[in-house]
Amino acid sequence: MMQWVAFLFFASMTLLSALGVVLLPNIIYVILSLLSTLVMVAGIFFVAGAELVGALQLLIYAVAIAVFYVLVLTAVPWEKALKKDSHYRVEGVLTFPILLAFYLEIILVFLLGISVSPKGQIREFIQNLGNTQVVGSILFSKYFFAFELVSLVLLVGMIGAVIVGRREDKTYEDGSP
Amino acid sequence: MKMVPLEAYLILSLLLFGLGVFGMIVRRNLVAILMSTELALNAVNVAFVGADSHLGLVDGQVFALFIIALAAVEAAVGLGIIVAIFRLRKVESSDELTDMGG
């Protein structure tokens, strides 16, 4: 019961803050609203029992990425954007039935998949350990190659960000940017 | 202990993803478009973790960690591109970026 109340609180706050991200005109309020959304999603992770993911959500998302957004806002002139209103509102609302069909497809695949997949192999192993230990042992055994691949993607992204952000006077020979 | 049902996680994920896509379409500011992308990524994470608590496994949490790492990369590269666009073109709205329009 307590879990359900906590879930409803976190879910409603998540959706309220997400509405703020989508609809607020001032970009500073938007980023504060995004920060609130990320923290509330971390609360949902805690309700679901995923403590490690919730803690990393707080550490990486709500601190590092949000601060990074604030830093970039100082580099672009956001005052100019205050006067413009948004556009394509009707088209944005019209995407929702498509998304609903997409989610129904996902649910179908999920339920069909778990009904035929072999289960119960590592349940006993999981129940004896804490969440962080389990995630760590799965991450470094079953998904170790994907883990290393993610580190490669991080390296490529870092190099790409440095190359894109490099200051140079002329990009091409004829001077066009 | 009464568990939160899987449907609640999926409905929340659907609404959050819908809001993210809505923001990507509606917003003009490039930074706000990237923030809406973060909403959609978080919606996927909620679906993963909710399915995990339904199944009693942790594979979805591992993928949620991967998504968090990829979101960091996406923010770094995307914001770098936005800063570069502003420095070269002096625009920061998606309406003025019409170079590739037909």
Task: List the domain boundaries for chain B.
Answer: 29-90
Of B96 and A41, more confident: A41
Q: Give residue B2's pLDDT.
A: 55
Listing DSSP states for B33-99 in one string gives HHHHHHHHHHHHHHHHHHHHHHHT-SHHHHHHHHHHHHHHHHHHHHHHHHHHHHHHH---BGGG--T
What percent of chain B lies above the pLDDT cut of 70? Answer: 95
Q: Do B89 and A160 touch (CB under 8 A)?
A: no
Q: Do A7 and B86 touch (CB under 8 A)?
A: no
The CATH class of the B29-90 domain is: mainly alpha
Q: Do A103 and B55 touch (CB under 8 A)?
A: no
- Closest chain B C-alpha to A93 CA, distance in angstroms: 7
Q: Give residue B42's pLDDT.
A: 93
Asked whether the predicted pLDDT for residue A99 surpasses 80, the reply is yes
Of A94 and A44, more confident: A44
Contact call for residues A30 and B32 (beta carbons, < 8 A) = yes
Q: Do A69 and B35 touch (CB under 8 A)?
A: yes
Asked whether the predicted pLDDT for residue A100 surpasses 80, the reply is yes
The model's pLDDT over B8-31, given as tens digits with 9 standing for 90+, comes to 999 999 999 999 999 998 888 888
Asked whether the predicted pLDDT for residue A81 surpasses 60, the reply is no
Please provide the size of chain B in residues: 102
Asked whether the predicted pLDDT for residue A32 surpasses 70, the reply is yes
In this complex, which of A3, A99, A165 lies closest to B80 when CB atoms are compared? A165
Task: Please tell me which residue of chain A has the smallest CA distance to B64.
Answer: A53
HSE of B61 in the Cβ direction (CA atoms, 13 Å)?
Answer: 30
Task: Please tell me which residue of chain A has the smallest CA distance to B48.
Answer: A45
Of A87 and A1, more confident: A1
Alpha carbon distance A161, B10 (integer Å): 34
Q: Give residue A25's pLDDT.
A: 82
The model's pLDDT over A150-175, given as tens digits with 9 standing for 90+, comes to 999 999 999 998 888 777 655 556 65
Q: Give residue A94's pLDDT.
A: 82
**How far is C-alpha A98 from the chain's CA centre?**
21
Residues of B in contact with A61 (CB under 8 A): 38, 42, 68, 71
Q: Do A69 and B79 touch (CB under 8 A)?
A: yes
| Mean pLDDT of the region B75-84 | 87
pTM of the full structure: 0.83
Contact call for residues A30 and A72 (beta carbons, < 8 A) = no
Contact call for residues A86 and B37 (beta carbons, < 8 A) = no
